[in-house]
Structure 1
Amino acid sequence: MRVMLITNPFATFTTPEGRDALANTLDARFHVDVERTAHRGHAGELGARAVAEGYDAVVVHGGDGSVNEVANGILGSPDALPRDPASLPALGVVPGGSANVFARALGISRDPLVATAQLMAILDRRERRTISLGHTVGRWFLFNAGMGMDAIVVRRMEELRHRGRKATAGRYFRTTLGSFFRPSVTPPVFTAEVPDHDPIEGVRFGFVSNTGPWTYFGTREIRTNPHTDFDHGLGIFAATSVSVPRNIVLGARLLAGTEPKARHLYRNDDVEWVRFTCAEPADVQMDGDYLGLYQKMEFGYRRGVLDVLAATKGA
């Protein structure tokens, strides 16, 4: 079995020793080629190369951003004709970022040593699981995209990282609280549309999920759309208020793991498409990566598009 191991030396929680240990462990049993990312977009280029050169699997040791890039490189544009996932390299992950949402949603341990053992067992069994993905603006997203307040938080976190701050769970929490409480942070109002429902007007922040959970507070799962998963349609979570008291109650329900409900919330866990329309440019993020300002976003999904190195559901 030919495996391409892609490592991100700039990921938050990777070390040279850990990367070498992972490469040596895989190389003891499989034919492994190690590639290190050198610039933004490089992981996607390597994913596309793995397809062209006929690799059986691609393992990413890095954060969610690197995994997203590799998935997009393997699959190509969502507008292209779909390919049989079995004809493409399967995607595996050994967590190395701060959140590692995609790996954890697949049941992969956040501990790199445990994750490596899981990965080796799955490779030995030649096991693959086929999952569905969301897409927008010509790119695939693995677990979540959003417009409004959550994207503002992602933008502010990226600004902090560029100043040398690590993206820890505590810093995410403080940045989120600061964004809600700071009067100068006012996300634009937009409209959300889904099939067979009147438009939801006055949305202040909205998430489109491909699975749940799509984020974590430390080890605690945050399930905005508890019944959305890799085998069904998209989940939408659209809030029409940024009022602190109203969202503290909603946030408490999310932290407690109870069904998220509120008068200012529209939620659906299985839709075919979602459209966000804003009169002025609004912040947008995808898989925790800040995309920029957009006035219109259309989200779709495709069933059974990518094979991953993970235990089959229910196994």
Structure 2
Amino acid sequence: MHITNPVINPEITIGLENVRALMILNPNSTTQSSELLREILPPLFAIEQLKLFVRHTQFPGHAEEMVAGLTRDDYDLIILLGGDGTVSEAINGMLGSADTESPSPETLPKLAVIPTGSANVLVRALGFSADPVEAVHVLARLIEKDISRTICLGTWNDRWFGVNAGFGLDADVLAQVDRVREKGFSATPFRYLMVTARAFGRARNNPPKINVRAVSDDGEEFSLDEAPVLLASNTNPWTFLGPLPVGTNTENSFDGGLSLFGVTDISGLGGLIGVLHLFGADPKRVLNKFSTARTIDFDHASSVTLSCPTPHRFQADGESEGKLTEVKLRSVPDAVEVYAPRAARAPHERKLREILRDFIRVF
């Protein structure tokens, strides 16, 4: 069988007709290369009864345009080669405006992700390896055996997110990292930590004042005024620093509700400990024995309203969304069907020596 080189041909067709899959490649993702594609594509080519269409994105938002309005009558599966930004675009394109009734997952193509971005949070939180070659071999077996699951997604205003969203420190860090990348520097874990340290110093001098109102799945209400740090997450871990998973809420997962993590005061030792919790240090809260960490947790939220008296940066799935004064978040259960292996081990279940080992690897 002759296969056209996918590196130079923007659209190809291979295989049989039983399973129709659209593969979307983001050529600008961090680790994307011709050499990598030559390792990634053969395991998919080897899947029997798979008809694969390959397309490349050409501009920001292109993946969202490609999948908009697609149903399972068009494709059984959408495979994404890219990072969390490409995943976010595809989710928003498939599901449309979050202000309208979301389509049933059975009517949408299933979703699969091969990680070629910088953090690749969603696919790694689903249990895949960060190595795209390892991930594609696992994905090929899952497709052959048709092993998939439905997951919850979050919404912010009329948009969707898969992993996290928030005002304050995390949004400021992402905006600064974007500036660093525009200057030609790579977004390494060490650089994230350095940018975070500077953002934390600025936040101490002029902390945001985030007001939170939330309702859980069972009707429990939660409110907090003028928190300087607030993160809403859809899974645990909510991000990665290189090999190091970063988690906050131990009950959080793709199976139910949003989790909120906040720091009520970032001054003094207690505030520093609280922010360290946000970025994955001390997952078992051992440091709380030495100082009262000013942190709050709220799990299984179905709806959340975040507001600020003045505009502050807001981020969703690692993408800066500008400065806003109010955002309404919702959790939508069983929103999309994804191919995924068994759940990854949560950060709080890792042994101390593993955490120390990975911190050393980050530096």
Aligned AA (2:172): I
Correspondence for 1:191 among 200, 206, 211: 211
CA contact (8 A) 2:129 2:135 kept: yes
CA contact (8 A) 1:5 1:58 kept: yes
Give the match's secondary structure for 1:22: helix
Counterpart position of 1:257: 283
CA distance in 1 between counterparts of 2:187 and 2:69 reads 30
CA distance in 1 between counterparts of 2:205 and 2:21 reads 45
Q: CA deviation at 1:249?
A: 2.1
Counterpart position of 1:11: 29
Q: CA deviation at 1:197?
A: 3.9
CA contact (8 A) 1:135 1:300 kept: yes
Q: Deviations over 1:249-283 (max 9, x none)?
A: 23555323215965522211211111111110011
Q: CA deviation at 1:182?
A: 3.9
Counterpart position of 2:353: none
Give the match's secondary structure for 2:87: helix
User: Which structure has the larger Rg over C-alpha atoms?
Assistant: 2
Answering whether residue 351 of structure 2 is matched by residue 309 of structure 1, we say no
Correspondence for 1:209 among 229, 233, 241: 233
CA distance in 2 between counterparts of 1:244 and 1:150 reads 19
Q: CA deviation at 1:313?
A: 5.2
Q: Deviations over 1:74-115 (max 9, x none)?
A: 111122222221221111111111111101110011011110
CA contact (8 A) 1:98 1:169 kept: no
Q: CA deviation at 1:25?
A: 3.2
CA distance in 1 between counterparts of 2:22 and 2:36 reads 17
Structure 1: gaps (5+ residues): none
CA contact (8 A) 1:181 1:244 kept: no
CA distance in 2 between counterparts of 1:10 and 1:244 reads 42
Q: Deviations over 1:14-59 (max 9, x none)?
A: 2122124323432332211111111110011122264386111111
Q: CA deviation at 1:150?
A: 0.8
Counterpart position of 2:84: 64
CA contact (8 A) 2:204 2:266 kept: no
CA contact (8 A) 2:127 2:343 kept: no
Give the match's secondary structure for 2:68: helix
CA contact (8 A) 1:50 1:58 kept: no
Counterpart position of 1:269: 299
Q: CA deviation at 1:246?
A: 2.6
Q: 1:130 to 1:184 in 2, by over 3 A?
A: closer
Give the match's secondary structure for 1:293: strand
Counterpart position of 1:25: 43
CA distance in 1 between counterparts of 2:83 and 2:74 reads 24
CA RMSD of aligned residues (A): 2.1
Give the match's secondary structure for 1:122: helix
Structure 2: gaps (5+ residues): 1-18, 345-363
Q: 1:267 to 1:235 in 2, by over 3 A?
A: same
More deviation in 147-156 or 75-84?
75-84
CA distance in 1 between counterparts of 2:282 and 2:229 reads 21
TM-score when normalising by structure 2: 0.81
CA contact (8 A) 2:210 2:230 kept: no
Answering whether residue 291 of structure 2 is matched by residue 291 of structure 1, we say no
Counterpart position of 1:225: 249
CA contact (8 A) 1:226 1:269 kept: no
TM-score when normalising by structure 1: 0.93
Answering whether residue 170 of structure 2 is matched by residue 150 of structure 1, we say yes
Query: Among the aligned pairs, what percent are the same residue?
Result: 32
More deviation in 20-29 or 120-129?
20-29
Give the match's secondary structure for 1:77: coil
Q: Deviations over 1:131-182 (max 9, x none)?
A: 1111012111101001011100011111111221211111111110111124
CA contact (8 A) 2:128 2:341 kept: no
CA distance in 2 between counterparts of 1:233 and 1:259 reads 23
- Give the aligned length: 314
Aligned AA (1:17): E
CA contact (8 A) 2:72 2:108 kept: no
Q: 1:33 to 1:185 in 2, by over 3 A?
A: farther
